[in-house]
Structure 1
Amino acid sequence: MMRAAILSLAALGLSACATLDPYEPGTAIVPPQAYARDLPPSGIAENWWEGFGDPVLDGLVEEGLAGNIEIAIARDRLRGAAALLRAERADRLPRLDGAADASIGLGSDVVDTASIGLLGTFDPDISGRLAAEIRVAAADYAQAEYVVADQRRLVAAAIAAQYIEYRRTGAQLDLLAQSTELQERTLRIVTLRFEAGLAANLDVRRAAADLAQTRARRGLIEIARSGAANRLAILLGRPPGLFAPPSSSGESTIPEYAGGPPAGTPADLLRRRADVLAAEAALLRAAANVGIEQADLRPSLTIPGSVLLGDGSIGGILDDFIATIGAALDVPLFDGGRRRAEMAAAEAEADARFGEYRLTFLEALGEVENSLVALEANGQRIDALSDAIEQSEAALEQSDALYREGLATLFDVLDAQRQLIGSRRSLIDSQAALATSFVSFHAAIGRMDSAP
């Protein structure tokens, strides 16, 4: 009667489990078919930094992808995830262990006994729990692999951005030398005019003050330059402090990007982003975890077995042979609603992961849109500043000539100098910002394949 009741309950449990469908969180996000702004012309898709045509930058990115510590950490975690996936898959196979037992009697009526054998178990996974655990481990492995790829994407972008900053500071130092030379020349002219009685001492002090203010900028630029070099060193996995990027022929200029990012819709481009794929893998893991909780509502079956040799004296281990095989059926009956509550919690977590996936996609889309705006705005600003520099150079030349003739004041000359120096400084910053915008754009849509 008891055996019949157990089999009846098992059949009832299996039929109930058949109504449990695989959990599917939410509906897929449908991205817009085009960006709010037009994409620039198609350019290099994978190694996008090569679009700058700078061998020094190419070498730095290559070194960083090979030696960056965060990438190495992500690879170590990927190896761990691969090992756990192998472990979960191994649970689908029969398990076999060796066994040995021996006892030695101390009295005259006690016989020495010994036995050796094999103990085995097999889980046919009628509940589907082992399959769900493999899906969880596979999703963990996929997420770890995408994290490696995402770290490579971020490191490449960070190296390019810091290299641009390093070149920006080099250009600013070069401009500082030019501005200092220009103001020193003005100071010499004013000093000679003062000594000849053609200018007041106030003019000398004004020219000297402007020169001192320009020279004072060197410290700030060198601080920024050192910071960029140190951040580059860390990204490359080198000790900061003694590192400086290799010199290049255009060290005092800003690298220009040739072409533009790959053309396509957001769904085509952002679907390649490793962090979006990692969020998708986390979503799949949460859905698979629901499958584990569903499996706990179903009966589970374990098949143990053993083969033993010997059960008599130590000298006759091979005299007896015993083989057994059995079956253990575990049927969930009553747990106060705990299993159902755990499944509800897993479903809620899967819904939350779906929300995180959608948020990751939208944030990535926002990064693309922001970089597009920056590309357009910085390009327009560079055009305007180029015109401002041309006008300022003409104004300085005219005011300088008029001052020499006594038809303009020193204030006019110094004001024209300030405008010219300021416009040149802003042009360098805008050129660097434009180059960085290209970096940000490619980082926002680019795909970095993970290295083994």
Structure 2
Amino acid sequence: MKRALILAVLPAVLGLSACGSLVPTGDAPRPPLRDDFRVMAPAAAASQAASSASHEWRGFFSDARLDEVVAIALDQNRSLRASAAAVERVRAQYRVTAADRLPEIGLGASATRQRTAGSGATTAYGVNLGLASYEIDLFDRLGSLEGAALSRFLAEQETQRSARLSLAAEVATAWLNLAAAQQRLMLNEALRDSQRRSHELAERQYALGAASGLERARARAAFESARGDAAESVSAVTQARLQLELLAGQPLPDRLLPAAQDERPAVALPAVPGGLPAEVLLQRPDLRAAEERLRAASFDVGAARAARFPRLTLTASGGTRSPDLDGLFKSGSGVWSIVPQIDLPVFDGGQRRAQVAVSEASRQEALAGYESALQSAFRDVADALAVRDQLDERLDAQQAQVEAAERSLQLAERSYRLGGSSQLELLDAQRQLTAARRVLVTLRQTEQVNRIALLRALGGRWMP
């Protein structure tokens, strides 16, 4: 009768798991932010939202060379490999934690021979299937630990995605920096060659008495300045290439590098909707990682709270025992045992209570970190959009300035050949044109880098 009662109660005891959860409830809060990054008419916002779609990082580069360089970096970068290994480590740790919720069952066999005084030698054979210290998760302590491990794994996955996104942005920026450095080198070399010709002409005119010593000195100073700028540009190109190859993780062939003559944009960005909602930030991998860390901290609080309550463990075994090896599986040789055990904390010097306080403080820290990350993400997008709003006008103005400087140089050269202006005016016109072209190169680079910064701030895509 007693055995039948135990066997009837055992399934109910084994099923008594997770009867209560002490994990704090509530989603990640959102700090007070504006609803969108720009303000526009509702009708225009609805029209743009209906005609737009989500945009992924893949296909963002319009230059096939840049696309291939980014792919190489994502495959070869050492820091990214370490991030991938960290994901696998946390994945394995989650499997370890999840296994604690399952019973550990083992199969054992034994043979015992012993001799006692006056009784002679006896032999006993046994085979048993045992359940080793299975915890009945009454207050979801093990479930909370598993939830925390899962959230940390998901956070590590999002951290790796964030690292991939950052690496792609850094490689693209380095590629654009190299392109701009090569264009500046081309402009500085052209100015150096022009100033060399002006200097040689001034030397001949001085030798013939047609130019003063002041004009000769000015031509020499202009040439040496241009020569120094060209030499500095060579160094800048070398450093930019080394930086790009460091990010790529390997030397890059010349066919994948930008050319100085390239003027077609390497980065394409569809028009950003005027009513871009702030909810797009929630897809950023760093924010998702922060949210998962907050969720893991909440699970830690639940586990710490559950540790203050009684813990019920169960040890059981069943098998067969016989003095003869051939009688192990005969009728009447079966043996079994079941040992439930309850652990009730009485006094631990306040250790469990302190652990609850630690976990709750860690949760508040994770909450503050999430809110701070959300505010920083909002600022990243708003700043990128603010810069972008003025770039088109600045580019138009600078292009007009370059055209005006080109016209000014043509007039200065004609006037100088006819004797209507001095050599100093010609040199100034050449320097002004080169300076205007340098600024135009910098603005084009800024516009391209801004596209990358915007898409990076949006987590690699946006939903209108």
Question: TM (normalized to structure 2)?
Answer: 0.82
* 8 Å Cα contact 1:171/1:253 also seen in 2: no
- Alpha-carbon separation, structure 1, partners of 2:242 and 2:234: 12
**Partner of 2:131 in structure 1?**
120
* 8 Å Cα contact 1:37/1:369 also seen in 2: no
* 8 Å Cα contact 1:143/1:278 also seen in 2: yes
- Alpha-carbon separation, structure 2, partners of 1:387 and 1:427: 10
Q: Structure 1 counterpart of 2:321, which letter?
A: G
Pairing 1:200–2:209 present? no
* 8 Å Cα contact 1:229/1:243 also seen in 2: no
Correspondence for 2:307 among 293, 296, 311: 296
**Partner of 1:399 in structure 2?**
412
* 8 Å Cα contact 2:56/2:460 also seen in 1: no
**Partner of 2:421 in structure 1?**
408
- Alpha-carbon separation, structure 2, partners of 1:261 and 1:143: 31
Cα RMSD (Å): 3.2
Taking the TM superposition and a 5 Å limit, the aligned residue runs for 1:45-444 are: 45-48=54-57, 50-103=59-112, 109-121=120-132, 122-238=134-250, 240=251, 244=254, 246-247=256-257, 251-253=261-263, 255=265, 257-260=267-270, 262-263=272-273, 265-310=276-321, 312=323, 320-444=333-457
- Alpha-carbon separation, structure 2, partners of 1:21 and 1:180: 71
Q: Which moved more, 1:424-433 or 1:213-222?
A: 213-222
Unaligned runs of 5+ residues in structure 1 are 1-13
**Partner of 2:12 in structure 1?**
none
1:177–1:220: structure 2 CA closer, same or farther, 3 Å change rule?
Answer: closer
Q: Structure 1 counterpart of 2:145, which letter?
A: E
* 8 Å Cα contact 1:168/1:252 also seen in 2: no
Q: Aligned-pair distance for 1:78?
A: 2.0
1:21–1:420: structure 2 CA closer, same or farther, 3 Å change rule?
Answer: closer
1:23–1:269: structure 2 CA closer, same or farther, 3 Å change rule?
Answer: closer
Kindly provide the CA deviation profile for residues 219-243 of structure 1, in whole angstroms up to 9, marking residues without a partner as x. 32233222322232233232x5x65
- SS of 2:33's equivalent? coil
Q: Which moved more, 1:61-70 or 1:365-374?
A: 61-70
1:385–1:178: structure 2 CA closer, same or farther, 3 Å change rule?
Answer: same
* 8 Å Cα contact 2:206/2:216 also seen in 1: yes
1:204–1:250: structure 2 CA closer, same or farther, 3 Å change rule?
Answer: closer
- Alpha-carbon separation, structure 2, partners of 1:448 and 1:388: 35
Correspondence for 1:35 among 34, 37, 45: 37
**Partner of 1:10 in structure 2?**
none
* 8 Å Cα contact 2:405/2:432 also seen in 1: yes
Q: Aligned-pair distance for 1:178?
A: 2.2
1:24–1:259: structure 2 CA closer, same or farther, 3 Å change rule?
Answer: closer
- Alpha-carbon separation, structure 1, partners of 2:210 and 2:348: 103
Q: Structure 1 counterpart of 2:70, which letter?
A: V
Q: Aligned-pair distance for 1:358?
A: 0.7
Q: Structure 1 counterpart of 2:284, which letter?
A: R
Q: Aligned-pair distance for 1:116?
A: 3.6
Kindly provide the CA deviation profile for residues 127-172 of structure 1, in whole angstroms up to 9, marking residues without a partner as x. 2111101111110111111112111211111111011011111211
1:305–1:106: structure 2 CA closer, same or farther, 3 Å change rule?
Answer: closer
- SS of 1:327's equivalent? strand
Q: Which moved more, 1:181-190 or 1:412-421?
A: 181-190
1:165–1:49: structure 2 CA closer, same or farther, 3 Å change rule?
Answer: farther
Query: What is the percent sequence identity of the aligned residues?
Result: 25
- Alpha-carbon separation, structure 1, partners of 2:104 and 2:341: 15
Q: Aligned-pair distance for 1:247?
A: 4.7
- Alpha-carbon separation, structure 1, partners of 2:270 and 2:104: 57
Q: How many aligned residue pairs are there?
A: 432
Q: Aligned-pair distance for 1:410?
A: 2.0
Unaligned runs of 5+ residues in structure 2 are 1-15
* 8 Å Cα contact 1:44/1:262 also seen in 2: no
* 8 Å Cα contact 2:144/2:300 also seen in 1: yes
1:62–1:412: structure 2 CA closer, same or farther, 3 Å change rule?
Answer: same
Question: TM (normalized to structure 1)?
Answer: 0.84
Q: Aligned-pair distance for 1:312?
A: 4.3
* 8 Å Cα contact 2:182/2:259 also seen in 1: no
Q: Structure 2 counterpart of 1:57, which letter?
A: L
- SS of 2:136's equivalent? coil
